[in-house]
Structure 1
Amino acid sequence: MKLSIRNTFVGFATALTLTAVGFNTTTENAEAASYKKSADVSEFQGDINWKKAAKQLDFVITRVQAGNPGDTNYHYDTKSKENAKGARDNGLPLGQYEYSQFTSVKDAKQEAKSFYQHADKNAKFYVLDNESRSTDNGSERDFVKAWAAQMKKLTDKPLVYYSSESFAKDNNIDTSAFNGNWIANYSEKPSSKTDLWQYSSEGTVDGIDGNVDMDTTLNTKTVNSWFK
């Protein structure tokens, strides 16, 4: 992902636990995972040769948008439809994400509606990329809960929460309404329990020019369940 928190992952304190913030999945040996290696992409990767990329990945997560129409920084990913189609046409299982810009509970609900409206309905799961505050008012925890509740009204597909360990902890995020979590940490394996680990922002994949965010499965059972 093209993330504002990219430089915050190095040097996380050890012994962080997410019990208090709602991360309650168990970590398993993922060596036999059907869906182990993945990348997440957006317009920042430019034109992707999906025929080549699909041969190196087990699944991909593509960006749809950032924020909600009407937000100052709202942006619809210019490669959203193209990337989704490219993955699907080459038999690559697909998840999709949006970068949150919540300003209120009402805005979080509307953002969920907008995201789902623009998302590819063939996606196996949907991700909330929640890593920064867009307002000093209200509770990010409440915004996240409102987004998840609205999405559950729109779809029965799995919902995945993405963030850094520090942001989730600092904002006391409750992820109990989600079907899994995805943590980014480029310096070391997350000390908290997580299902999917974004371990690098400088990965390489045939068919994708330049660096790409790379992910690996840590919890086989949970990640596999996103594809049923």
Structure 2
Amino acid sequence: MSNNLPDSREKKGASGARNTLSIIFMSLVAIMTLTFSIVLLIKNASLQRETDAVKSELDTMDKEHFFTEGEMGSRIEEARIEAAENADRALREDIKKRLEEGEGPNSIFKSLFPDQLVVARNNRYYFFPISDKIARHGFKSDDFEFDEKGFLRYKGENKDFKYKQGIDVSRFQGKIDWAKVKNAGIEFAIIRACYRGITEGLIIDDETFEDNIKGATENGIDVGVYVYSQAINKEEALEEANHVIEMIQPYKITYPVVIDIESADSDNARTLNLSAKEYEEVANVFCNRVEEAGYKSMVYGNLLSFTVLMNAENVDNRDIWFAQYNSSLYYPYHFNIWQYTASGKVPGIEKNVDLNICITEY
């Protein structure tokens, strides 16, 4: 028995050591578990605080920045009205400034409605889409300018562009010294031959026609003639054409024979209720008869003539004499003669006279 005692003590010592290690290990596990639990509690508390803060912020945003559908609609409408008022105010200020600086209404219309022609008549404005079917004249807004004598001069980039200075006259210019007119650089004259009465409808010869056509031709000035038309149907248009053809037979006419289509300034005018189709028929019947007689025909008019009175597309095959008193053309379509002022001054003519440039060789 005594021989087995040491072995037994060794076993008891080893067992005690293992128990001590187990206790230490379990204690460490308990400490780690407690620490982890504390960390979780701290994180949960922090997360709750963050959640509460976010909820509080959202509640504030909901009160200050988020609206019901009705409230949002009201705010959008208020913003739209304010934006429209600001834009309208800015536009009025811009137009006012441009008018004060001397810019004409046609130039302003052109910038505001670049794809339309705006025409005023009887205190109303009419808007006509610019047609793609009619050839354009191709000039830029700054291609022309007035010189010191009041004549329109071309200053564009086309060095080969040629044109002639001319006038148109009637009894309103009185007696004319055509030699002085020639020396002033005038190369052509369109002379009124006759006119039809606005209300009575009678054709009346211009009392200065013979003096003017003789004086112009004798001084080497090319001449054309025009008829102020108030024809209301094709029969009267033909009558006007035949009348002027008879008047010009003794003379050398190198420029066109023109029918003047304008709106008469009278509430009793015979043409007051003419339709565009009727105006176009008058113009075309007149021109056809003139061409049959061997002369070049032409239609004269202003912006109103080629929009309200007639559709420009329906007289597009004619030579055009266009009236616009400015150095910049608002009218976009082709033309052959441009009447650019009614208040020109030319030596040999005491009164104001219409000035023109012709861009076609006749």
Q: Judge which range, 107-116 or 184-193, deviates more.
A: 184-193
Is the aligned partner of 1:146 residue 2:276?
A: no
Equivalent residue, structure 2, for 1:166: 304
Structure-2-length-normalised TM-score: 0.52
Structure 2 unmatched runs, 5+:
1-103, 118-127, 144-153, 265-269
Contact 2:194 2:226 survives alignment (8 Å): yes
SS for the counterpart of 2:304 is: helix
**1:158-204 CA distances to partner (integer Å, 9 max, x unpaired)?**
212110022211121422442x2111111453222322211111100
- The whole-number CA distance in structure 2 between the counterparts of 1:21 and 1:145 is 22
Displacement of 1:27 in angstroms is 4.3
Alignment-derived partner of residue 257 in structure 2: 126
Q: Distance in 2 between matches of 1:66 and 1:113?
A: 13
List alignment gaps of at least 5 residues for structure 1. Answer: 1-9
1:129 Cα deviation after fit: 1.1
Give the counterpart of 1:182 among 282, 305, 321.
321
Alignment check: 8 A CA contact 1:23 1:181 kept: no
CA contact (8 A) 1:20 1:172 kept: no
Secondary structure of the residue aligned to 2:220 is coil
Distance 2:129 2:135 in 1: 7
Pick aligned residue for 2:181 from 53, 56, 79: 53
Q: RMSD of aligned C-alpha atoms?
A: 2.8
1:32 Cα deviation from its structure 2 partner = 5.5
Q: Computing the radius of gyration over CA atoms, which structure comes out larger, 1 or 2?
A: 2
- Paired with 1:105 and 1:196, the residues of 2 have a C-alpha distance of 25
Cα distance in 1 for partners of 2:259, 2:207 equals 19
Q: Which amino acid aligns with 1:203?
A: G
Q: Which residue of 2 aligns with 1:201?
A: 342
Q: Conserved in 2, the CA contact under 8 Å of 1:22 and 1:175?
A: no
Number of the residue aligned with 2:214? 85
Q: Is the 8 A contact 1:35 1:59 kept in 2?
A: no
Q: CA deviation at 1:119?
A: 2.4
Q: Match for 1:147: what amino acid? A: F
| Residue 20 of structure 1: how far off its partner (Å) | 4.8
Identity over aligned residues, as a percent? 24
Larger % of strand: which? 1
CA distance in 2, matches of 1:123, 1:153: 15
Task: For residue 298 of structure 2, give the secondary structure of its aligned residue in structure 1.
Answer: strand
The amino acid of 1:199's aligned partner reads: Y
Residue number in structure 1 paired with 2:48:
none
- Residue by residue over 1:61-120, the C-alpha shift from the partner in whole angstroms, topping out at 9 and shown as x without a partner, is 11100128x953532100101100000110111111111111111111111111111125
CA contact (8 A) 2:174 2:351 kept: no
- The secondary structure found in structure 1 opposite 2:166 is strand
Task: Give me the TM-score of the superposition, normalised by structure 1.
Answer: 0.80
Alpha carbons of 1:196 and 1:189: their partners in 2 closer, same or farther (altered >3 Å)?
Answer: farther
Tell me which moved more, 144-153 or 204-213.
144-153
1:214 equivalenced with 2:355 (yes/no): yes
Q: For the residues of structure 1 that align with 2:129 and 2:204, how far apart are their CA atoms? A: 31
Instruction: Provide the C-alpha distance between the structure 2 equivalents of 1:18 and 1:24, rounded to a whole number of angstroms.
Output: 14
Deviation of 1:19 after TM superposition, in Å, equals 6.6
